[in-house]
Amino acid sequence: MTTIYLSSTYEDLKDYRRVVIDALRKSNYDVRTMEDYVAGDQRPVDKCLDDMSNSDIYVGLFGFRYGYVPQDRTYNPNGLSITELEFRQAESLKKPCLTFIAEEDAGISLKMVDAVTGEGARGERINALRQYLLAQKLTSPFSNPHELATLVLAAVKTQLDRIKTPESPIAKTPEPTITWDINKEGSPYPGLMHFTRKYARVFFGREQEVAEILDRIRQPQGRFIIISGDSGAGKSSIVDAGILPNLEEGGLPGTEICECVRMVPGQGSQPFGALMTALGSLATRAGLRPDAIIEELRKSPDTLIQQLRKIIAGGAKGRTLVLFLDQMEELFTTQDVEQSNKFLTELYRAAQEKTLWVIATIRSDHLNFATAIQKCCKCCEVRDITR
């Protein structure tokens, strides 16, 4: 039986915990939880960390309270709460960490918000932890207990589906042979260039990250994904050679057939020009003039959705548009920041109104460069691939 450790602060999330525990146990999971603890000679933090270490999956629920901080600095020198100690140990043990964050409309009393009650540095601690989770983990937001239970069950099932069942030696199917004709296709290694879809057959070692990002794209909030990472971490490669080939094979929800287009901001004098450089062939196929569209968007950025819908309807032959916005930091290093903010705002709105899907890559050191990115980071999924 799969053992799940449920971690969270208690007083603010006890109603959420109860619904999640009931849902997990009805699905025949063994749930380790503080509600079941009885008197014993262990310190509470030791009992919690032992149970977490002996579980198969860590599930963390995070509201706006930081939680109880054990005062013994001999084993807790950084003054972390029990909730953060559990999470950090799960990370260090490389446990599957499924994390969920309460949204501001979750109905949690202001008395349970450390940033409001002003309890020392706890407000800063919980805000920093929430920001870390949003930037570094595939974290799901929740607003009510039953929504949370549904999200937890789906995430646990997805995690267990990834665990391969040992194959019988008799029934074992040979791995398909990958062929690459060097004479016709050149070297299978692009050198300093990123791996493109041409190299998808020989793009190995990032399968888990690809699967995690695809799972997030298929969530309701996954229409605008930001993938961050250090320079050279492989952001462009994981999208171009890992994500997009899967999407083109029916990987979008409902197995939608899609048209994937890569945009690089530096390939235009301003962001809408760079966009039309990427979409130019589709626009021409739709009988539209890319230069006229650029001029219209410069004057009226809020017409982007209208322009995109015309391009998609006439040029994509009924396929869903997936825009790969690569090297997003160039919006702010080579172009006018104000215009770039308008572009990102309208692009985000187009994604939320289901006009297209957007997968963006950006260097980590530029993630908080502009107002529009900060807004996107709060509303979209951010996945860092350098950890």
pLDDT digits (tens, 9 = 90+) for 237-296: 999 888 998 888 877 877 778 899 999 998 878 999 999 999 999 999 999 999 999 999
**For residue 135, is pLDDT > 60?**
yes
- What pLDDT was estimated at residue 221? 79
CATH topology of domain 3-162: Rossmann fold (3.40.50)
CB 88 within 8 A of CB 80: yes
Mean per-residue pLDDT over the chain, rounded: 84
Q: pTM for the full model?
A: 0.54
**For residue 169, is pLDDT > 90?**
no
Grouping H, G, I as helix, E, B as strand and the rest as coil, residue 121 is coil
Domains of the chain: which residue ranges? 3-162, 190-384
Q: Which residues contact 299 (CB under 8 A, 6 or more apart)?
A: none
Instruction: Count the Cβ atoms, other than its own, within 10 Å of residue 33.
Output: 20
Grouping H, G, I as helix, E, B as strand and the rest as coil, residue 204 is coil
Give the tens place of pLDDT for each residue, 25-37.
Answer: 998 899 999 888 8
> Which amino acid is it at 161?
D
Among residues 335, 311, 332, 316, the alpha carbon closest in space to that of 376 is found at 332
CB 369 within 8 A of CB 226: no
> Which amino acid is it at 108?
I
Lowest mean pLDDT among 71-80, 132-141, 245-254: 71-80
In CATH, 190-384 is 3.10.20.520: no
State the pLDDT confidence band at 173, using cuts at 50, 70 and 90. Answer: low
**For residue 167, is pLDDT > 50?**
no
- What pLDDT was estimated at residue 318? 75
Domains 3-162 and 190-384 agree in fold? yes
Helix, strand, coil shares of the chain, percent, nearest 5, are 50, 15, 35
Give the tens place of pLDDT for each residue, 79-128.
Answer: 889 999 999 999 889 899 999 999 988 888 888 888 777 767 888 889 88
By the 10 Å C-beta count (0-12 exposed, 13-18 middle, 19+ buried), 71 is classed as: exposed
Instruction: Count the Cβ atoms, other than its own, within 10 Å of residue 42.
Output: 11
* Residue 140, φ and ψ in degrees, nearest 5: -100, 130
Grouping H, G, I as helix, E, B as strand and the rest as coil, residue 163 is coil
Give the tens place of pLDDT for each residue, 324-371.
Answer: 999 999 998 878 888 888 999 999 999 999 999 999 999 888 877 655
CB 258 within 8 A of CB 252: yes
